[in-house]
Structures are given as C-alpha cells and as structure tokens.
Chains A and B, each alone.
Chain A
C-alpha cells in the first residue's frame, strides 16, 4: 500500500520534472545570447578570463578545506598545534598570497577592461558614416528618432518610426544618445552586450556596431514601474539599402505637421505619449 503510493508519487514527480534543466554548474552549458556586435567579444573575454581564474582559486580553497576536514578531524589522540600565525613568516606568506590573487586576477581584468574602454566602449565613433539615433524611453515603450537626410535633429525631416521598432544598418557604427521621458530606464540589448541607463535630466551616450543582420530584442533593465517586464523593443539589423528604404518609408509626409500627427495623446495603457521630444542631440567634445 505504502509502496504503491510511493510509486505513484515518484511517477508524478518524474513526469513533472522530466524536461527540466537540472544543473549544478549550468554555466558550462548555458550560453549567453549570441554575440552579434563588433566589440561584444571583449566583454565575453573578460568574463571568460575571470571564470577560469576564479575557478582555479576557488578549487584550491575547497580542496584545502576538504583536505583539512579529513586530515585534522578530531579523533582520539589527535591534538591541535598551538600556532597563532603571527610570526613574520606567516604574515608575509598571507600578504604574498593576497598580492598574488590581486596581480593574477584583478590587475589583469583591470588592464583588459581599461584597454577595452579606451579602444571600444568609451571611444565614440566619429565621421560621416556614423548613424545617429536618439532614444527616448517612457513608461513602457521605446521611442526612436533619426535625424533624416539633413543629419540634424529637431528639424522638419526627423524620422520618428512607430514605437519599439529600431532599425540599423549592418557593419556601421551606431551612435546613440539617450534620455528618458519620465523615470529611469535602461537600454539593454543582450545580443550586443550593451546597457545604458537613461536618467531624467541627463543625456547619455553609447555606441555599438552590428556584424550580422537579424531581429533582436531590446529590454529595459532598470525597474520603471509595473509594466517594466513588457517594455520590449525590437532592433532590426539590415543592409544599408534596406535601412535607407525603411527610413524613407517612415519619413514625415508632406501633410504631416511634425509632431501633431504622431501625438495620439493617450494609448490603451492609459499612457501619456510625449507631445514633444523635449531634448536634443548633444555634441560631445
């Protein structure tokens, strides 16, 4: 009777848990989203280096711990060695090991990070081929603005596509400036390893370059209210021609009176759509 009940329960548990990933160290076979950016590999490299080194150090600590547990466990006749560990030799040894950790992990990842920041993440692209985009998140959607054919923002020919849809050309540096309409948001595209907060009162900059075409998800990484979880956008990476065609399709029509047409006041989420962009491109340097 008991056995049968047990069997039924076991079956139930088995059927419920059959397709679940059970992993003690899932990091070995769960990958981050595919990197499709020019510089994303730099971040992956820093993470990989840190993974490797800390695995080594942690393993040493745990092996030592297990060894000590076995070797120095209490048993009849076994006594501890009276050792305060405050001789010069001991202190120097611990400090040396502390410095070893610092120089083998910290200084290396620091050097990698400094190099990557200088060469890539904080080295904003300049030049004519750079595509500039203004991003204005709001509760709970992404607004994008392109400068149009004159290359300047806040002019008649600015392109403001439908919300949550961003298009960029492949293999071209994309320079973004971002400021929110209401609260703090964070522009996060996992496939590009980029993340940038949008804080009221500040215009922040970031850049990336796509190496593959496709459609990728944009998420908001900073809590912005109860719709935070569904504040999702799509980034379409396409060829230069397709991108130009898309820009032209979204260009303001003759009868458009700039913002008035776009301004539908209140949408189904009872969300105020911004009537004005409210800020504009800030030239850096």
Chain B
C-alpha cells in the first residue's frame, strides 16, 4: 500500500504528465533562476559603480570571492551567465514554459497538451540543462566567460577561453534549446488540433495567440542556433575550425562571421519569442481590467503575425559594424524600421482598449500598464540601434544594454509578473495579497526605470559594455557618479523583489481560498472550480463568444459573459 502511495506521489508531482503540474514546475525553475540571475546583476552593478572595491556583506562578497574582490575573469563569468540565465533559464521557462503550459489547454478548452509525455520530457530536459549549467560554476576555471553571444574565436579554446565552463555552457544551451523545441511542437499542435468546438482562431484569447506565434518561431529558429552551437561544440572539443580564421586558424575555410549570422538569425527572433507571450498576456489583461473588449483584436493579431515575419529578416542590424556591405546594411535598416508600423498600431490598440473603459487597478493591471510604459521606451529607443549611423556610435555601448533591458527584461518581466498575479488564483487556488502586489509594482517600477533609462545615458556618454572597470578611461570620468546612483537603485530594485517572494510563498501556504473567477474574466479557465483535476473539463465546453466579451449591452446584470455561455437573445 505504501509503495503504491509513493508511486502516486512521484507520478503526481514529479514525473507528472499533467500540463498544470508541469507549468508549476517550470514556474519554480524560472523563479529560482530569476533570483539567481538577478543577484548576479547586482554584483555586476557593484563592480561598475565601485570598481575593484570589496563587495559589501549584503551582496555576500566574501562567500564568492577571496576578500570580496572580483577579478576580470569573475566579472566576465558574471555578465555571461547573467545574460544566459535571464534569457534562457528565467524568462523562457516562466513565460513560455509555465504560462504556455498552463494557459493554452485551459483557454482553448483542451483536456491536456497534445503530447503529455513529450511535455514532461521537455521539462526534465530543461532540468538536466540547468544541472549542466550550474555544474559549470564548480569547475576550477569557472563558468563560461564569452558573453551571452559567445562569439568565436573567443569562445573557442584557441581564442583564450580554455576552461570546460564554456563547453558546458554550449551543451547546456543545446539541451535547453531541445527542451524549448519539444515544448514548441507540443504547443503548436495543441492549438491546431485540440481547440474546443466553436473555438475558431479568432475566438482564441490574445494570450494564446502570443504563445502560439512564439512557439511557431521557436520551432523555426531554435534549430538554427542549435546547429550553430553544435558546430561551436565541435570547435571546442574535437578541434574542428568552423568559426576560426585569420592568425589562429591552421586550416582554411572557417569564418567567425558565420557564427554571428547564425546566432542573430536566431537571436533577433528570440527577442520576439520572449516578447510575444508578454504582449498577448498584456492585451488580454488590459481588456479584462478595462471591462471592455480588446480594441481591434483582429488587427492586433495581424500585427503580431506581421512582426513574426519581419523579425526573421532583420538580424543584420546587430552586425552593422562588422564591415557589412553597404547594400546589406541599408536593406537591414529599412526592414528593421518597417517593424515600427505594426508595433505602433499594436501599441495604439492597447491605448484603445483603455479608452472609454472602466479601469480596475488590481496588481495585474498595474503591471500590464507598466508594460505600456516600459515597452514604449524600449521600442522607441530601438530606432537608434536600427539606424546605421547612430548605431555606429551606440553599438556595443551601455545604450544597447539599456535598450534591450527595457524591451526584454522590463517588458517581458512585467508581463510575466502580471501573469503571475492574474493566474495565481487559478494555479494555486489561493489569493495573493493585493496591497503587497501594488507596493511591489511601485518599488519595482520606479527603480527599474531609473536603472535602465540611465544605462542608456551611460551609453550615450560613451561607456562600452562588458567593461570590468570604467575608471580605466578618462572619457568615462564624468559619468562615474551616475554609475553609482544606478547601482543604488539596482540594489533597491533587487531587494524589493523580496516583497514579491514573501507574498508569493506566503499566499501559497497561508493564502485565503480563491473563488473560481475572482477577476470576472470570461475565458474558459475561469469556468472551472479549483483545484482543476487531471483532464481539466468534465465535459468539453462549446464556445459561443469571443474572448473579450465585457460590458456587452446584451448581457444584463453583469459586465461579462463566459466564452462557453450562449449569448442571451
């Protein structure tokens, strides 16, 4: 009997094929790495503000470094792993792994993913990748130090990084890519094949649209980076020279530029892979909390699709300074700037949703509106990097760092936090404390803007990125104070996340039981009483209404109608 019980525990919580359990597993993994990667960011900021001064006790300097002093090697490891972890181990599992898994089947009225076992393998591959990645910290030479882009020849043994950390990094990333690919195929097929009766494509909630388009992009572009990484792995381990040329090469025919192309063919879509789920979720939440249908939902979807297509042909704007042919440079610039058309239409639709709404400022709404602000800034500052001439000056400076933190870190993270506050009652059947949620928003929003905006100012003043010690340069002397104030705000930002951690964990343990539909939302997941059993819907729902039927005058007494409820006549 006890044996049987133990087996149940394992299949129920560990090797589960239930998409809701896998979603939680991804969420915990993502949150762990978010804290881990975020902490590394604080160490980086300390070094930039107080170069070569011992780390303070609250950053646990003595624990990591002798005398709390960071060397250039440590610093290179820090920013490399910070970037890698935040992108592939924090944001990807949180938004795509956790919410992709949780939302898609529930919102389209499916009993589970199309391939539940593949789904489970996807998580455990990611888990294996995490172990490989974390193991690289234990090596005597330390973890990878070639930047998150890991351009060869620097990332090959002949280029100076000889330790196995870089090899494990390549391996871990390939494994993480495999996991993402398995998830992507699963999501795509689930959406195509398992929608409930009546759930046409345009009746799918925008959050599902975002996640679905992301999965399509993942399925197309992850194999490209995987190919590049495997070639890099061969260069590192068995001495091939795919990406080595010039003085270091012993055979002819390799090309470091090839890696950059392969990397950015994946790397630019990756930005949209991360942002599309956040966009979808934000569009969805703005509609729920404005008690109003999403403004121009079809146009929003068409814009998202346009951006997916465009994003795959603009990668060259990461490479303007590589000595690109003028014709190519101009073409990439034109294509990149084209993205601003769908983006602005998209953005206006967000404002249109708020227009004449009935706005409720619950924590998910605050974060969703925060995305309007941070993505506005992030998107607009992309113009400088898209333009060849201004990019000549700003490329590889802190400006770029500030810009992509606005788009990727701020927008995606706020989207993810909005999603956590919104779906927490459905995931854990408990309520989160709304007051702490609102405090968390403000103590994140203000320091975050100070940090990322002034990073761009640093870049405008000339500070190049991945710089161990800015005090080496005279032209950076005027901004050394700015570096200090940014660091202070970064530390405030980092430690204020403890409010969220407390609220999250305390609510799971001690939280009040949540009602089935606390936000009065109309998508299918809210029709289910929690805890939702394996298999989700007792009877497959039939869908009658669009995903954002709020304040419809045909419905009396309340301002919403569930998707599965026939419209009163």
A and B interact physically: yes
Query: What residue in chain A is nearest B394 (Cβ atoms)?
Result: A47
- Interface: A225 (CB within 8 A): yes
Q: Report the separation of the CA atoms of residues A183 and B353 in the bound assembly, to the nearest whole angstrom.
A: 50
User: Once the chains bind, are A188 and B464 in contact (CB under 8 Å)?
Assistant: yes
User: Once the chains bind, are A94 and B352 in contact (CB under 8 Å)?
Assistant: yes
Known: A23-B454, A43-B392, A217-B475. A91 touches B299 (CB 8 A): yes
User: Once the chains bind, are A122 and B326 in contact (CB under 8 Å)?
Assistant: yes
Query: What residue in chain B is nearest A114 (Cβ atoms)?
Result: B330
- Interface: B468 (CB within 8 A): yes
A86-102 vs B: 1/0 string, CB under 8 Å? 10001100110111011
Known: A98-B341, A180-B246, A193-B392. A24 touches B450 (CB 8 A): yes
User: Once the chains bind, are A82 and B344 in contact (CB under 8 Å)?
Assistant: no
Query: What residue in chain B is nearest A91 (Cβ atoms)?
Result: B299
Binds A, one of B214-222, B223-231, B355-363, B419-427: B355-363
Query: What residue in chain B is nearest A228 (Cβ atoms)?
Result: B466
Known: A23-B454, A95-B345, A190-B462. A72 touches B389 (CB 8 A): no
User: Once the chains bind, are B466 and A223 in contact (CB under 8 Å)?
Assistant: yes
Known: A43-B393, A97-B348. A229 touches B323 (CB 8 A): no
User: Once the chains bind, are B482 and A85 in contact (CB under 8 Å)?
Assistant: no
- A-B contacts counted at CB < 8 A amount to 335
A6-40 vs B: 1/0 string, CB under 8 Å? 00000000000101111111110011110000000
User: Once the chains bind, are A83 and B482 in contact (CB under 8 Å)?
Assistant: no
User: Once the chains bind, are B153 and A184 in contact (CB under 8 Å)?
Assistant: yes
Query: What residue in chain B is nearest A84 (Cβ atoms)?
Result: B293
For residue A188, which residues in chain B have a CB less than 8 angstroms away from its CB? 396, 464
- Interface: B43 (CB within 8 A): no
CB distance from A273 to the nearest CB of B (A): 12
Binds B, one of A61-69, A151-159, A240-248: A61-69
For residue B329, which residues in chain A have a CB less than 8 angstroms away from its CB? 117
Chain A positions near chain B (C-beta within 8 angstroms): 17, 19-27, 30-33, 42-43, 46-47, 50, 54, 57-58, 61-62, 64-65, 68-69, 72-74, 78-86, 90-91, 94-95, 97-99, 101-102, 105-107, 109-110, 112-114, 116-117, 121-122, 139, 179-184, 186, 188, 190-191, 193-197, 199-202, 204-205, 216-217, 219-230, 232, 274, 278-279
User: Once the chains bind, are A50 and B466 in contact (CB under 8 Å)?
Assistant: no
Known: A94-B352, A117-B388, A217-B473. A202 touches B323 (CB 8 A): yes
User: Once the chains bind, are A50 and B348 in contact (CB under 8 Å)?
Assistant: no
User: Once the chains bind, are B551 and A79 in contact (CB under 8 Å)?
Assistant: yes
Chain B positions near chain A (C-beta within 8 angstroms): 71-73, 76, 145-147, 151, 153-154, 159-161, 244-249, 254-257, 290-299, 321-323, 326, 329-330, 333-334, 337-338, 340-342, 344-345, 347-349, 351-361, 369, 372-373, 376-377, 380-381, 383-384, 387-390, 392-397, 450, 453-454, 456-457, 460-462, 464-469, 472-475, 478-479, 481-482, 484-485, 488, 548, 550-553, 559
User: Once the chains bind, are B357 and A72 in contact (CB under 8 Å)?
Assistant: yes
For residue B344, which residues in chain A have a CB less than 8 angstroms away from its CB? 97-98, 101-102
User: Once the chains bind, are A58 and B376 in contact (CB under 8 Å)?
Assistant: yes
Q: Report the separation of the CA atoms of residues A239 and B53 in the bound assembly, to the nearest whole angstrom.
A: 42
User: Once the chains bind, are B322 and A106 in contact (CB under 8 Å)?
Assistant: no
For residue A98, which residues in chain B have a CB less than 8 angstroms away from its CB? 340-342, 344-345, 348
From A24, A47, A110, A197, B321 is in contact (CB under 8 Å) with: A197
From A65, A80, A182, A194, B559 is in contact (CB under 8 Å) with: A80
For residue A195, which residues in chain B have a CB less than 8 angstroms away from its CB? 321, 392-393, 395-396
From B321, B338, B381, B472, A230 is in contact (CB under 8 Å) with: B472
Residue of A74, A85, A188, A279 contacting most chain B CB atoms (<10 Å) = A85
User: Once the chains bind, are A21 and B482 in contact (CB under 8 Å)?
Assistant: yes
For residue B551, which residues in chain A have a CB less than 8 angstroms away from its CB? 79-82
User: Once the chains bind, are B484 and A106 in contact (CB under 8 Å)?
Assistant: no
User: Once the chains bind, are A112 and B389 in contact (CB under 8 Å)?
Assistant: yes
Query: What residue in chain B is nearest A19 (Cβ atoms)?
Result: B481
User: Once the chains bind, are B482 and A26 in contact (CB under 8 Å)?
Assistant: yes
Q: Report the separation of the CA atoms of residues A134 and B337 in the bound assembly, to the nearest whole angstrom.
A: 34
